[in-house]
A and B are shown apart, each in its own frame.
Chain A
Amino acid sequence: QSALTQPPSVSGSPGQSVTISCTGTSRDIDSYNRVSWYQQPPGTAPKLILYEVNNRPSGVPDRFSGSKSGNTASLTISGLQVEDEADYYCTLYTTRSTWVFGGGTHLTVL
Chain B
Amino acid sequence: EVQLVESGGAVVQPGGSLRLSCAASGFTLGDYTMHWVRQVPGKGLQWASLVTWDGFSRYYADSVKGRFTISRDSSKNSLYLHMNSLTTDDTAVYYCARENANWDAFDVWGQGTMVTVSS
Q: Is the pair A46, B95 in contact by a Cβ cutoff of 8 Å?
A: yes
Number of A positions contacting B (CB below 8 A): 26
CB <8 Å contact, A104 and B44: yes
A-B contact count (CB 8 A): 67
| Cα–Cα distance between A14 and B59 once the two chains are bound (Å) | 42
| Contact status B103-A45, CB under 8 Å | no
Q: Report chain A residues within 8 Å CB of B44.
A: 2, 87, 89, 101-104
Contact B59 A97 (CB under 8 A): yes
* A-facing residues in B23-69 (Cβ within 8 Å): 35, 37, 43-47, 50, 57, 59-61
Chain A residues whose CB sits within 8 angstroms of the CB of B74 once the complex forms: none
Contact of B35 among A38, A40, A45, A99 (CB under 8 A): A99
Whether A52 and B104, one on each chain, are in contact in the complex, defined by CB atoms closer than 8 angstroms, is: yes
> Which B residues are closer than 8 A to A by beta carbons?
35, 37, 43-47, 50, 57, 59-61, 95, 97, 100, 103-107, 109-112
Residues of A whose CB lies within 8 Å of any CB of B are: 2, 34, 36, 38, 40, 45-48, 51-52, 55, 57, 87, 89, 91, 93, 96-104
